[in-house]
């Protein structure tokens, strides 16, 4: 096998191909934009075709369900949970249902240097680190293999991630009966920013403020939860700062410039209501227009129930949530990524050319 993909738009970086390879012939390598892509060691490859067969970008139907989800507005009953969540606390309620059954949770976390990666959690303290949004593509490592090992031990598993990561897990697990104990929850994903630009941004903050980063938080509720505030409130501290700092330049690169997202996001196969997961969660933006009594400055969640298994699981979470079924048209009106992929700006290539020639401070300076 020469390559898993023909062009960069056809690879989402989920790493399913690497983890399914029986010869360990595939490694995930970063390109000049910082995104991971599979590379095949031709001396080890036996042309089994597993990598192509399970790829969620190639597989017919992309592992999506044909059924129409049920749409719910939801909010966690605990004010403390809402304060620590990005939106309405749906992830906490969902993951608590797994923890109560001695289950295992997989989700995006930071390491000690704030690299974003998928990790495993068995207790609330580990899970809590996964609650806050992280606008960077996470490194999957061997997460799918870990999920399978937990399932083989008889544990229930909740996997959370982007739709393409969830589809990668579907492909990796195939039709295994182990999936009876696997619950998948995906996010309505805007697009995936570059880990390389995130690294550059962290280094810039450390140079400007002095010291080493000791905390970061995307989408703080300092300004209150709302669509207008969803690209504000990036907070950080270094070991040299005495107060929490706020900065929005990474948001500007992501939302305003729009040039730092993965090429496959422009042709995303997962931007519709047919999901690969059992449950989908997001912000219920616009709820104040449709049902003002539901709006809350600490956040409101949108939950899509996508399968019979998801419906049973959602029932297990309802004790911690205030929830109500809503018309699907509300979410379709407000969540653009349920209708179409993110579009690249015309000057995307120029951004990366400028970055390569002049460096990060130059390209980020152009937005100020």
Kindly tell me if the per-residue pLDDT of 368 is higher than 80: no
Percent of the chain, pLDDT > 90? 93
Mean pLDDT of 238-261: 93
CA angle, residues 199, 203, 207, in degrees to nearest 5: 170
Give the pLDDT confidence of 107-126 residue by residue, as tens digits: 999 999 999 999 999 999 99
Residue ranges making up the domain that contains 127: 68-192+262-338
Mean of per-residue pLDDT scores for the chain: 96
> CA 330 to CA 25: how far, in whole Å?
46
Does some domain include residue 322? Answer: yes
Mean pLDDT of 305-314: 97
Does some domain include residue 203? Answer: no
Mean pLDDT of 72-83: 97
Does some domain include residue 295? Answer: yes
Does some domain include residue 9? Answer: no
Does some domain include residue 255? Answer: no
| Cα 11 → chain centroid | 16
Kindly tell me if the per-residue pLDDT of 151 is higher than 90: yes
> CA 363 to CA 206: how far, in whole Å?
18
Give the pLDDT confidence of 330-367 residue by residue, as tens digits: 999 999 999 999 999 988 999 999 999 999 999 999 88
Residue 230: band (very low, low, confident or very high) from pLDDT cuts 50, 70, 90: confident
Kindly tell me if the per-residue pLDDT of 273 is higher than 80: yes
Sheet holding 245-246, edge to edge: 213-217, 235-238, 245-246
Residues with Cβ within 8 Å of residue 35, at least 6 apart in sequence? 8, 13, 137, 194, 195, 196, 262, 263
Give the pLDDT confidence of 35-75 residue by residue, as tens digits: 999 999 999 999 999 999 999 999 999 999 999 999 999 99
Does some domain include residue 17? Answer: no
Mean pLDDT of 243-264: 93
| Cα 136 → chain centroid | 8
Nearest to 276 by CA among 196, 169, 360: 169
Does some domain include residue 244? Answer: no
Domain count, the chain: 1
Does some domain include residue 99? Answer: yes
- For residue 1, the model assigns a pLDDT of 63
Give the pLDDT confidence of 188-206 residue by residue, as tens digits: 999 999 999 999 999 999 9
- Rounded to two decimals, the pTM is 0.96
* Direct distance between the N- and C-terminal alpha carbons of the chain, in angstroms, rounded to an integer: 46
């Amino acid at each position: 096998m020469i390559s898993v993909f023909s062009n960069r738009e056809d690879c989402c970086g989920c790493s399913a191909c690497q983890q399914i390879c029986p010869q360990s012939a595939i490694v995930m390598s970063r390109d000049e934009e910082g995104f991971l892509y599979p590379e095949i060691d031709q001396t080890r490859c036996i042309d089994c075709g597993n990598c192509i067969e399970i790829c969620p970008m190639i597989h017919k139907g992309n592992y999506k369900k044909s059924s129409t989800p049920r749409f719910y507005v939801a909010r966690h009953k605990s004010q403390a949970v809402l304060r620590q969540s990005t939106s309405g606390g749906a992830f906490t309620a969902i993951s608590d249902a797994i923890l109560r059954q001695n289950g295992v949770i997989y989700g995006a976390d930071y390491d000690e240097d704030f690299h974003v990666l998928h990790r495993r959690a068995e207790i609330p303290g580990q899970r809590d680190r996964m609650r806050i949004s992280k606008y960077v593509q996470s490194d999957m490592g061997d997460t799918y293999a870990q999920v399978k090992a937990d399932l083989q031990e008889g544990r229930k598993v909740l996997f959370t991630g982007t739709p393409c990561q969830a589809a990668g897990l579907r492909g990796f697990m195939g039709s295994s009966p182990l999936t009876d104990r696997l619950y998948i929850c995906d996010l309505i994903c805007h697009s995936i920013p570059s880990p390389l630009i995130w690294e550059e941004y962290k280094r810039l903050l450390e140079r400007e403020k002095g010291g080493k980063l000791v905390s970061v938080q995307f989408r703080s509720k300092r300004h209150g939860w709302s669509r207008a505030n969803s690209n504000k409130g990036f907070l950080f501290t270094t070991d040299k700062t005495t107060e929490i700092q706020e900065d929005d330049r990474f948001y500007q690169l992501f939302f305003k410039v729009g040039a730092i997202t993965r090429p496959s996001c422009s042709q995303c196969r997962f931007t519709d209501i047919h999901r690969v997961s059992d449950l989908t969660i997001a912000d219920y933006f616009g709820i104040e227009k449709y049902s003002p009594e539901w709006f809350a400055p600490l956040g409101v969640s949108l939950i899509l129930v996508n399968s019979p298994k998801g419906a049973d699981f959602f029932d297990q979470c309802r004790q911690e949530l205030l929830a109500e079924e809503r018309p699907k048209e509300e979410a379709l009106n407000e969540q653009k990524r349920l209708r179409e992929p993110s579009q690249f700006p015309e000057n995307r290539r120029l951004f990366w050319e400028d970055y390569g020639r002049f460096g990060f401070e130059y390209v980020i300076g152009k937005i100020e």
